[in-house]
Amino acid sequence: MSAFLPWDKNQKQLRARSPFDWVDDFFQDFSPVFKSYDTFKIDVKENEKEYMVEAELPGVKKEDVNVSLNEGQLTIAVKQSKQAEEKKDNYIHRERGFSSMQRSIYLGNASNAGAKAKFEDGVLCLTIPKSDKEKIYKIDIQ
């Protein structure tokens, strides 16, 4: 009996396939399904004095957003609870849902003092001043 040698769409030739090839093909073929669970987009700019961060959060309410800055680690977290409910006794469809997403980025010499946040039209704009203090310490060798 001959071995099963399927056509490889990437190599354009026949070759023996391992079980790992089948798994790789599965995830490549269905990658748009997995990409739909992407998080929100952020842009970070800087100048001599501050960092400017913009996060796109369409459909998110201001009270569902939490922003923290801890030792240069900026974290933007979103937690939403959705409930679509109609006031009918004989409903045939009800939905509830919860979603959460989070992004963190390291801003080396960011300072907590004077940080500002503004949320308008689904865009979170942060202005985070840079610290004047040097974060690198030189150790003298004796």
Would you kindly state where each structural domain of the chain is located, as residue ranges? 39-129
> Each residue of 1-10: pLDDT tens digit?
445 545 555 5
DSSP 142: -
Residue 9 to residue 21: CA distance in whole angstroms:
12
Structure pTM?
A: 0.61
Q: Which CATH architecture has domain 39-129?
A: Sandwich (2.60)
- Give residue 34's pLDDT: 45
Q: Across the chain, what does the average pLDDT equal?
A: 76
- Give residue 33's pLDDT: 46
Section 57-76 average pLDDT: 90
91: pLDDT strictly greater than 90:
no
Section 93-120 average pLDDT: 86
Residue 134 to residue 92: CA distance in whole angstroms:
63
